[in-house]
Amino acid sequence: SQQGEEDPQALSIQEGENATMNCSYKTSINNLQWYRQNSGRGLVHLILIRSNEREKHSGRLRVTLDTSKKSSSLLITASRAADTASYFCATGMDSSYKLIFGSGTRLLVRP
């Protein structure tokens, strides 16, 4: 079963604009992660935020986590055409290190 649901399902923006993607989940979590997938490729880990953290930055990425609302957001600032990809949130819930992935947001950055 899928725990996370991303919103929007698809997003099209102009290069240089910011892109914001949201993720909602249903149960208590240990951590929440964001991954990127280029078309037809494997996933690449972007950033991890733990349940006791509220915000985290990595380069042009900013992730927030609101455990009271069971939601997270990923902000990509100053987007580039190379950021075009699908972005997935994934929740880790216990010591088995299993992840439950959402359905993803397809981001298109127009040059």
Partner 1 sequence: SQTIHQWPATLVQPVGSPLSLECTVEGTSNPNLYWYRQAAGRGLQLLFYSVGIGQISSEVPQNLSASRPQDRQFILSSKKLLLSDSGFYLCAWTPATGSQETQYFGPGTRLLVL
Backbone angles phi, psi at 66, to 5 degrees: -120, 95
Q: Minimum CB separation from partner 1 for residue 44, in Å?
A: 7
Q: Minimum CB separation from partner 1 for residue 16, in Å?
A: 27
Of the candidates 108, 96, 46, the residue with the CA atom closest to the CA atom of residue 72: 46
Contact string (CB under 8 A) for partner 1, positions 26-65, x = contact:
----xx-x-x----xxxxxx--x-----------------
Binders of partner 1 among residues 66 to 105 (CB under 8 A) are 88, 90, 92, 96-104
Of the candidates 99, 85, 91, 103, the residue with the CA atom closest to the CA atom of residue 36: 85
∠ CA 73-13-23, rounded to 5°: 20
Residues in touch with partner 1 (CB under 8 A):
2, 4, 30-31, 33, 35, 40-45, 48, 88, 90, 92, 96-104, 106
